[in-house]
Chains A and B, each alone.
Chain A
Amino acid sequence: MAPETYPRNTLDILEAEAVYVIREVAAQFERPVMLFSGGKDSILMSYLAKKAFWPGKIPFPLMHIDTGHNFDETLEYRDWWMKEIGAQLIVRYVEDSIRQGRVAEEEGPNPSRNAQQTVTLLDALTEFKFDCAMGGARRDEEKARAKERFFSFRNRFGHWDPKNQRPELWNLYNGMKRPGEHFRAFPISNWTELDVWQYMLREQVPLPSLYYTHEREIVRRDGVILALGPYNRLVDGEEAETAWVRFRTIGDMTCTGATESRAHTLEDIVNEIAATRVTERGGRADDRRSEAAMEDRKKQGYF
């Protein structure tokens, strides 16, 4: 039969590949976990996990590292979504790590807990003896991620060494390890932001309201639009304004920038992303700190 009889389009290929990787993790590791941040990428990844094992249940728990600086919508959605996909959820709090003195709060008026969550994450991996943590990182997000593997090896300190990664050939992923070593796995490595949204549109995946346009109190700080709230207050000389915005990524409130947008539907979002001239990380304050910011954080064990 002619190849045209079996057409393959990008979304089908990416979906099949992600499902394959998720199944490989489930099969190769004893205690895998899937990280869930409430952002679109982890929603996508958990949705693919549900598809991968249907009619069986997702054979690993999901874990949320809660910075305590979440949007209310994120937590509400998180609890609803876990029921929807029938997953078991574990939550660990950066607040607890700070209280236990494992890590110190950042100084300044609007402290970010982005760096702190790495400690909470590594502690949680040890606590549950997880040997592989799946994350929703994509290679197109940032330069340092362009070289990331599907199966990313971490030494006993949880560190990523860019020079000590295993080559990945064909679709053969080597997850063998010695005691104490573990892996991060990135099933949606090959997806771009536009792929994610087109897939969400195709599959009609329900998403948190933050991704759609809404009216909100914001402040413009260093060219980034930040939502005002309990963890993000005005500093001297700044003025609050009200604007129609939506979020392209969702993370810690202190550093997730919004974009001005009138996108009400998934179709609107796909169109907006296709036309945009700024990367999604362009709106993240944490990536702006230094040119090699991501590379530095990754080496410390950040996702």
Chain B
Amino acid sequence: MDHKTLVKERDLLRFTTAGSVDDGKSTLIGRMLFDTKQIFQDQMDQLEVSSRLRGEENVNLALLTDGLRAEREQGITIDVAYRYFSTAHRKFIIADTPGHEQYTRNMVTGASTADLAIVLIDARNGVLTQSKRHGIIASLLGIPHVVVCVNKMDLVDYSRERFDEIVADYREFAQKLSVHDIEFIPVSALKGDNVVNRSENMPWFEGAPLLQFLENVTIAADRNLVDFRFPVQHVVRPHQDFRGFAGQIVSGTIKIGEEVVALPSMQRSRIKNINFYKAELEEAAEGQSVILTLEDEIDISRGDMIVRRHNIPEVEHEFEATLCWMDERRELKTDTNYILQQTTNRSHALVDEVLYQLDVNTLHRRTEAETLRLNEIGRVKVTTAKPVFFDPYERNRNTGGFILIDPDDFRTVGAGMIRYSSRSTIEELKREERAKRLQTPKSTDLTWDPGLVGPQDRIRRQGHAPLCVWLTGLSGAGKSTIAKEVEKRLFDEGYQITRLDGDNVRHGLNADLGFNREDRRENIRRVGHIARLFHDFGAIVLCTFISPYREERAYVRALFPAPPAAAGAPGPATPATPAGTRTPAFLEVYTKASLAEAERRDPKGLYKRARAGEIHGFTGIDDPYEEPEAPEIILDTDRLSVDEAVEQLAEAIRRASAL
């Protein structure tokens, strides 16, 4: 490693591993450490001695991670252990947890801070209850990425059929979960196949080996950069003229001058300064520990929360939560006055009712349950003495998670995830439902009816191939202006062309949708399917939508037949590619303008209103825009004139739709 690599900035991935000793979890971690040369000579010496003492022939890599003596004697891991290793790209923190049902609480603990979960399956045994349980816990704890390692492939002759079978089984089960990103990798931790180095025994596997995957999985998009939440930890007051609020920004971003309110007092002020040590910052984001000062002297103390005036969390005494019980001495009591700790806030709390207990092996709901015991998880209703400021856990792990503390001995007895306030239950259910529709593939019992008129018939009549042209970019980037001109020009040239416009569809088809993340998703989902219908009709359809999130754009792209080069990798819900089509069916056009330029143009006066705080969740201001990674076309409207941009796009369409 040379000097440059050392000072190169690396990001951090926290992942959890669950699995039993039998699955080879410790061996897998040991293998990762060993093959990335993170095991030091003195550790290796110790390991050899220990292995020999146990009468083992080879160095037992699992011993590296089995720390405590009690565990070694019993041959099991009984607590969460944290391991560290790094590569040139990333630092990794492993929360290594035991996989047996009786250690559910440890798995929950390890999962609470993880970006990713590794679930181990023994290739010989296939998908057992235990692997399902790990998936369920990852899903409940909101871990965005799951990697299923099908281990011990060496013992099934590196069989592709066996691997495919397990993948299919697990996928079917995982449809019930709210995990969005699942990856499968066939490995042998013992032999080192596909852990760090690509396996020569499984040439049929085209994906990345585990470590390479861990190094490259995108986690930046998992951050909540929208909802500014600042739980106050400590008030710093060195002298009369300085009163600073110390804390860590748990989500969102904030700038000097922005209007804020303090909860629960609801007093308003503006951000005067953002400091960290001697640095005076203009702006700060999720994850940063800073000190804020405000323009006005308002009363704020530890446990209060500073938020943006137009983006306030729920402030409630009552809510529903998923609760994991962690105490071996006493079960959950509905008449005990627990202490609830959430962010930096503590309040007395009663668990009024256990609505149901969740079987972590099957997701079955046992409504007859009246309490929760150690390692049990259930849905409960909670009432607090003081109001709690929260967001649903799905949206914000840091404001949606809490612990319950026993009032007698102050042990941590429960961990909860707030699902929603009792008040907004129905609204939230609706959203969950919509989000699910976007995620889950079509029901399998429906079939696509191709009809009697085929794509080739339509192409012959139109004289050109159909095409979806998707213009994405900031508001004011020029999407509609360009699309309108292109539509006119090509219509005059005889093309069958139409346009779907962001504002227009919200008048009718999508009038029921707002601008929060779920509604935006649904908006794009519907538009994507409409565009596909136009495409099937044989038309060229221009779609002009800010569509700020990569995930949604990728979703729409997948609705269309893949271009010839990438053929064979159709999207999830795509009916068969029309036979004989040789042209791309989807063009992503990044209409690129700098925020400054788009804001200067501000054709609808929206930026001004967003800056004034009248609109919130506005892309570019307080909602992220995720730039396309590989658009077919980039129109840089900071540099191009309208006419140049129009001609460039029109020409690209002529070429793409030519027969």
Contacts and interface: CB of A to CB of B under 8 A. Distances in A.
Interface of A: 1-4, 6-17, 19-20, 23-24, 26-27, 50-57, 139-140, 143-144, 146-147, 162-163, 165-172, 174, 176-178, 189-190, 192, 194-195, 198, 201-202, 267, 270-271, 274-279, 281-282, 291-292, 295
B367 interface: no
Q: Is the interface of B mostly helix, strand, loop or mixed?
A: mixed
A24 B278 contact: no
B86 A166 contact: no
A11 B86 CA distance: 13
Interface in B211-241: 220-221, 223, 225, 233-234, 236-238
Contact of A267 (B3, B78, B277, B339): B3
B246 interface: yes
Interface of B: 1, 3, 6-7, 9-12, 40-43, 46, 49-50, 65, 67-70, 78-84, 86, 91, 93, 105-106, 108-109, 112-113, 220-221, 223, 225, 233-234, 236-238, 242, 244, 246-248, 250, 253, 275-278, 285-289, 291, 302, 326, 339, 341-342, 344, 397-398, 401-403, 405, 409-412, 415, 595, 620, 623-627
Given A1-B225, A1-B625, A169-B112, A55 B236 contact: yes
A192 B86 contact: yes
Contact of B40 (A55, A139, A277, A291): A277
A170 B412 CA distance: 13
6 nearest A-B pairs in the assembled complex, by CB-CB distance? A282-B42, A176-B410, A3-B220, A9-B9, A6-B285, A143-B67
27 contacts: A1-B253, A8-B11, A10-B11, A12-B288, A23-B289, A24-B344, A26-B234, A27-B344, A51-B277, A54-B277, A54-B278, A55-B236, A163-B78, A167-B105, A167-B415, A168-B412, A174-B405, A174-B410, A176-B405, A190-B82, A190-B84, A198-B6, A202-B7, A271-B6, A274-B1, A275-B1, A282-B41
Nearest to B623: A1
A271 B221 CA distance: 33
Q: Is the interface of A mostly helix, strand, loop or mixed?
A: helix
A279 B287 contact: no
B552 to A, nearest CB: 15
A53 B286 CA distance: 19
Most buried by A among B221, B277, B302: B277
Contacts of A4: 220, 627
A291 B625 contact: no
B91 A170 contact: no
B83 A172 contact: no
A9 B11 contact: yes
A146 B81 contact: yes
A9 B42 CA distance: 30
Most buried by B among A146, A163, A270: A146
A147 B79 contact: yes
Contacts of A190: 82, 84, 93
Contact of B68 (A6, A162, A267): A162
B89 to A, nearest CB: 11
Given A55-B236, A176-B339, A177-B410, 13 more contacts: A9-B11, A56-B244, A144-B68, A147-B81, A176-B405, A178-B409, A190-B93, A192-B86, A192-B91, A198-B6, A267-B3, A270-B6, A281-B42
Contacts of B285: 6
Contact of A144 (B67, B401, B405, B409): B67
A78 to B, nearest CB: 22
Given A3-B624, A20-B248, A56-B236, A10 B80 contact: no
B281 to A, nearest CB: 12
Contacts of A144: 67-68
Contact of A291 (B46, B65, B109, B225): B46
Contact of A15 (B67, B223, B289, B403): B289
A19 B247 CA distance: 9
Given A53-B246, A140-B84, A170 B401 contact: yes
A23 B246 CA distance: 8
Contacts of B12: 8-10, 13-14
A2 B40 contact: no
A27 B302 CA distance: 8
A253 B97 CA distance: 38
A194 B69 contact: no
B42 A167 contact: no
Contact of A195 (B80, B91, B221): B91
B540 to A, nearest CB: 30
A84 to B, nearest CB: 14
Contacts of B220: 3-4
Contacts of A198: 6-7
A278 B225 contact: no
Contacts of A3: 220-221, 223, 225, 624, 626
Most buried by B among A13, A53, A143: A143
A190 B78 CA distance: 20
B238 A55 contact: yes
A176 B406 CA distance: 10
A170 B234 contact: no
A56 B238 contact: yes
A302 to B, nearest CB: 16
B237 A56 contact: yes
A54 B234 CA distance: 12
A176 B78 CA distance: 24
A292 B6 CA distance: 33
Contacts of B248: 16, 19-20, 171
A162 B79 contact: yes
Contacts of B409: 178
B368 to A, nearest CB: 28
Contact of A20 (B7, B289, B339): B289
Nearest to A197: B6
A189 B80 CA distance: 14
B233 A147 contact: no
A35 B86 CA distance: 29
Contacts of B238: 55-57
